[in-house]
Amino acid sequence: MISWSHHLIIAPILVPLIAAAVLLFFDERKRVTKAMISLASAIIMLLIAFVLFRIESNPNDFDGVYLLGNWAAPFGIVLVVDGLSALMLLLTALLALAALVFSMARWHAVGAHYHSMFQLLLVGLNGAFLTGDLFNLFVFFEVMLAASYGLLLHGSGPMRVKAGMHYIAVNLVAAFFFLIGVSLIYGTAGTLNMADLAARIPQIEPDRRMLMEAGAGVLGVAFLIKAGMWPLCFWLPTAYSAAAAPVAGIFAILSKLGIYVILRLTMLLFADGPSAGFGSEVLLFGGIATLIFGTIGVLASQALGRLAGYSVLVSSGTMLMVVGISDGAVSSGALLYLVSSTFTISALFMLIELVERGQDAGANVLTVTMEAYGDGEDERLEEEDGVMMPGTMAILGTCFAACTILLAGLPPLSGFIGKFAMLSAMMGIGAIGTPPDAAVWTLIVLVILSGVAALIAMTRVGIRTFWSSLEGTVPRVLVIELVPVMFLLSLTMALTIQAGPAMRYMDTTIRTLSQPSIYIDAVRNAVRVDGWRPTPDVAKGAP
């Protein structure tokens, strides 16, 4: 008999799946009912994710392997929860709740089946974080992509449809690469169970290992597309900026799924043996290129939506660069940075919709023109005694300033703590007393410059938006729209206050990932539940 907490492992998949199915039975005109069902599902999922996260804070007290169908690995389907997957589940649940509450103001009513697609997106995300084999990773990846196609097109409009078509085409190619990579790995290793695959890779013959590594490389391309590594990232800023605000808010976690899978497979499959360090140089230099490209995009962006889209690339580039470094201390700080940046970017996407609600479509372009050539109204502005900022604009401006501080990595918020942890660990790379080499100093400079670029770009846009508005119109904002943004930003504040326990959790998670034998043994030694056994009379056919 296994404890009740063990069954919570499958609950993050079942809860949104059941909710998505139930929602299909309700007509679209019953929006309040559908919203309440979806909201209840998100709250339940958050509670489950929080319980799993707390349990994984003491990993010695919990067996995190769930055998679906009661089939032993590697023959059956397994779900595995450890420190990293529990962290991603909690992060997804928090973003989902915030985005869902934000959408209940008006976005959930501008298209059909919004809540069902939202729940199916959560099914795909949670399943991808929990699965212990590559085939079901492909299944959950496809479920997530199918739901994201509909969500990106939610609300229609020519720009959204155009960006959606590009998004669908690119991700269909990613899914095609995923399938090819999985096929090559299975053909050479004979298994798709991650734990079994990690144990078999060192025993594969050199000629077959080359084909297996080719399959892993093709598989990696699929997730590098989703993570947004340069030059596979040109679709991302346009797609994310064109999506509806709550959709873009939850999409902030999609690129982190690519990072999660790459980190998981790199530290599990290629940590030791003949294939140790496979792909690390590609990740390192690809992350550097992505970070540079994202930084340039942030500086060049005039629209807030594209600025937030390029900020996603900056975050992805930083994480890919850290995975390529393969240093435990750097990775611990990077995990804290991942959580902080995801909260910030999600809040920023939703905040942008509120800020731009009071602006004309061409306000940004006209403001840039005014900066260059002037508008002839200097005398009128000089006659004003001062600038009065209404309460709504004050709240929006405060939230925008918090996003600026977090993206730039300035003290005292969690963005600074995450970057400081990464940079201090980078400076300590190498033997004791040996200073970092030129490559590490280059990485340090790039991380700092990306923060400076975010500060310049956000300050410039903030001045245009809050101090130099062409219309002076105060947007009409509902409380239900402000609360999710403030909620996400308050989470970064909580992360700042609890930085010590958070870093200890990240350190424990990375140390566990650095020992693949822990994961392999847990999956291989997972105990099946004793099933029903016939009595002797029944076995003999007695009535």
Q: Report whether pLDDT(272) > 90.
A: no
* pLDDT confidence of residue 60: 57
How much is the mean pLDDT over the chain? Answer: 82
* pLDDT confidence of residue 540: 47
- Of 397, 395, 391, 484, give the one whose Cα is nearest residue 105: 484
Q: Report whether pLDDT(274) > 80.
A: no
Rounded CA-CA distance 31/108 in Å is 8
Average pLDDT over residues 521-538: 64
Q: Is residue 434 very low, low, confident or very high in pLDDT (cuts 50, 70, 90)?
A: very low
Angle between helices 83-103 and 114-130 (to 10 degrees): 170
> Alpha carbon 506 to chain centroid distance?
16
Q: Report whether pLDDT(396) > 90.
A: no
| Greatest mean pLDDT among 68-82, 364-378, 404-418, 471-485 | 404-418
Rounded CA-CA distance 171/190 in Å is 27
Per mean pLDDT, which range of 4-8, 113-117, 347-351, 427-431 is the poorest?
A: 427-431
Which two tokens mark 468? 């130099």
For the whole model, what pTM was predicted?
0.87
Residue that wins the pLDDT comparison between 456 and 440:
456
Q: Is residue 528 very low, low, confident or very high in pLDDT (cuts 50, 70, 90)?
A: confident
Q: Report whether pLDDT(89) > 90.
A: yes
Average pLDDT over residues 228-240: 88
Rounded CA-CA distance 495/414 in Å is 6
* pLDDT confidence of residue 413: 86
Per mean pLDDT, which range of 291-305, 312-326, 423-437 is the poorest?
A: 423-437
Average pLDDT over residues 148-174: 86
Taking only the tens place, the pLDDT of each residue in 193-215 is 888 888 888 888 888 888 888 88
What phi, psi does 80 have (nearest 5°)? -130, 130
Taking only the tens place, the pLDDT of each residue in 358-377 is 655 444 444 443 344 344 44
DSSP SS3 for 354: helix
* pLDDT confidence of residue 456: 92
* pLDDT confidence of residue 468: 60
* pLDDT confidence of residue 442: 83
Which two tokens mark 388? 């009065």
Taking only the tens place, the pLDDT of each residue in 22-78 is 998 888 788 888 889 999 999 999 999 998 888 877 655 556 888 887 777 777 788
Domain extents for the chain? 4-369+391-524
Q: Report whether pLDDT(246) > 60.
A: yes
Q: Report whether pLDDT(378) > 50.
A: no
Determine the Cα angle at 331 with ends 132 and 121, to 5°: 45
Which two tokens mark 182? 């999985």
Q: Report whether pLDDT(91) > 90.
A: yes
Residue 11 and residue 47 in contact, taking contact as beta carbons nearer than 8 Å: no
- Of 274, 261, 273, give the one whose Cα is nearest residue 221: 261
Residue that wins the pLDDT comparison between 27 and 19:
19
Single-letter amino acid, residue 467: W
Residue that wins the pLDDT comparison between 234 and 70:
234
Q: Which residue intervals of 374-437 are DSSP H helices? A: 378-382, 391-408, 414-427
Q: Report whether pLDDT(533) > 60.
A: no
For residue 343, give every residue at least 6 positions away whose Cβ sits within 8 Å of its Cβ, in sequence order, or none: 94, 95, 406, 488, 489, 491, 492, 495
Residue that wins the pLDDT comparison between 373 and 12:
12
* pLDDT confidence of residue 359: 59
Average pLDDT over residues 334-343: 92
Residue 162 and residue 252 in contact, taking contact as beta carbons nearer than 8 Å: no
For 221, how many CA atoms within 13 A lie in the half-sphere containing its CB? 19
3-state helix, strand, coil in the chain (%, to 5): 75, 0, 25
First to last CA, the chain: 29
Q: Report whether pLDDT(218) > 50.
A: yes
Taking only the tens place, the pLDDT of each residue in 129-153 is 999 888 899 999 999 999 999 888 8
* pLDDT confidence of residue 531: 58
Q: Report whether pLDDT(433) > 50.
A: no
Residue 414 and residue 499 in contact, taking contact as beta carbons nearer than 8 Å: yes
* pLDDT confidence of residue 469: 53
* pLDDT confidence of residue 88: 93
> Alpha carbon 146 to chain centroid distance?
17
Residue that wins the pLDDT comparison between 383 and 271:
271
